């Protein structure tokens, strides 16, 4: 249920590798030389305080921003030198869903699939599957302009997945949506990981990161301050820290003191 990897890909490259990636906006260093490697078939939560560089990092991976320096590879594809090839196997869903409000979900998915060059019959089948999984059926032929944030988030997620990407990046996908919709989104993401896709998401809902992720990365000051499983991060933070919130606050505080 995800896009075949590019021809010539060896099967040994990680899903995502960032080496020394940096980005500044004027005098502000948003990302200060981040190194990050994602494994194939894992769900990786990228956490950090506001302004830590999470979204900027993902926007560079998505090809929306050009890094000032560093290297980015997606399943062995150089995302800077071969951006089109990288985008064909990548999905990016920002925290604010961007839709064409005058289109219905069916029309929107047909439009997005066409942009990716997906065969019409294949696109129709995938759209039907996504509409069913995300419980969009009753609204499939209604214009998106009247949808709630949660409904728009589901349509945008379906659009991000219509070309069955191998790397899926989600920026705060569960913010502002109700529990029922959040459950549908989480179930879909877990199904994609089981099918072999790799997912990296940012979230301020720490219990979601604790429950869903295989590994967690904590970004502070534009750098990866710590990463590992929840158990590994707890061990690093110390015995007094039993929740991810405790671990997160402890490790980010240490990173800021060391900066």
- Higher-scoring residue by pLDDT: 228, 3: 228
What is residue 255's predicted lDDT score, i.e. its pLDDT? 79
- Round the average pLDDT of the chain to a whole number and report it: 90
Residue 121: Cβ-neighbour burial (10 angstroms; 0-12, 13-18, 19+): exposed
pLDDT tens digits, residue range 75-104? 999 999 999 999 999 999 998 888 999 999
198-202 and 215-220: which strand pairing? unpaired
The residues that bridge with 200 in the sheet, in sequence order, are 44, 169
Give the integer Cα–Cα distance in Å for 153 and 239. 38
What is residue 73's predicted lDDT score, i.e. its pLDDT? 97
Residue 11: Cβ-neighbour burial (10 angstroms; 0-12, 13-18, 19+): exposed
Q: Evaluate if residue 14 carries a pLDDT over 70.
A: yes
Q: Evaluate if residue 4 carries a pLDDT over 60.
A: no
What is residue 110's predicted lDDT score, i.e. its pLDDT? 97
The residues that bridge with 93 in the sheet, in sequence order, are 170
**Token pair 């295989």 in the structure block, residue:** 214
What is residue 69's predicted lDDT score, i.e. its pLDDT? 96
pTM of this structure: 0.88
pLDDT tens digits, residue range 16-63? 999 999 999 999 999 999 999 999 999 999 999 988 999 999 999 999
- Going by the DSSP 8-state scheme, the letter that residue 96 receives in this structure is S
User: Is the CB of residue 2 less than 8 Å from the CB of residue 195?
Assistant: yes
Q: Evaluate if residue 6 carries a pLDDT over 50.
A: no
**Residue % of the chain over a pLDDT of 90:** 66
pLDDT tens digits, residue range 139-153? 999 999 999 988 998
What is residue 8's predicted lDDT score, i.e. its pLDDT? 41
What is residue 205's predicted lDDT score, i.e. its pLDDT? 86
What is residue 128's predicted lDDT score, i.e. its pLDDT? 96
Q: Which long-range contacts (CB under 8 A, 24 or more apart) does 3-7 make?
A: 3/88, 3/89, 3/163, 3/164, 3/165, 3/166, 5/75, 5/76, 5/89, 5/166, 6/75, 6/76, 6/77, 6/85, 6/88, 6/89
What is residue 259's predicted lDDT score, i.e. its pLDDT? 63
């Amino acid at each position: 249920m995800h896009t075949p990897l590019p021809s010539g890909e060896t099967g040994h490259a990680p899903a995502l590798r960032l080496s020394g990636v940096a980005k500044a906006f004027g005098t502000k260093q948003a990302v200060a030389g981040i190194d990050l490697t994602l494994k194939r078939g894992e769900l990786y939560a990228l956490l950090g305080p506001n302004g830590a560089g999470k979204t900027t990092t993902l926007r560079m991976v998505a090809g929306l921003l050009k890094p000032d320096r560093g290297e980015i590879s997606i399943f062995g594809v150089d995302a800077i030198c071969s951006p089109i090839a990288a985008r064909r196997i990548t999905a990016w869903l920002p925290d604010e869903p961007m839709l064409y409000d005058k289109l219905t979900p069916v029309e929107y998915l047909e439009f997005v699939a066409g942009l990716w060059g997906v065969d019409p019959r294949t696109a129709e089948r995938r759209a039907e599957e996504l509409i069913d999984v995300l419980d969009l059926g009753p609204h499939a032929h209604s214009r998106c302009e009247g949808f709630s944030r949660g409904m728009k988030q589901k349509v945008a997620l379906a659009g991000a997945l219509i070309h069955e990407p191998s790397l899926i990046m989600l920026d705060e996908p569960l913010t502002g949506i109700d529990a029922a919709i959040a459950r549908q989104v989480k179930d879909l993401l877990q199904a994609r990981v089981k099918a072999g896709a790799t997912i990296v998401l940012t979230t301020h809902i720490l219990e979601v990161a604790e429950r869903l992720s295989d590994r967690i990365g904590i970004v502070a000051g534009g750098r990866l301050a710590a990463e590992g499983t929840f158990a590994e991060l707890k061990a690093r933070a110390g015995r007094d820290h039993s929740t991810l919130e405790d671990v997160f606050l402890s490790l980010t505080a240490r990173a800021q003191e060391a900066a």
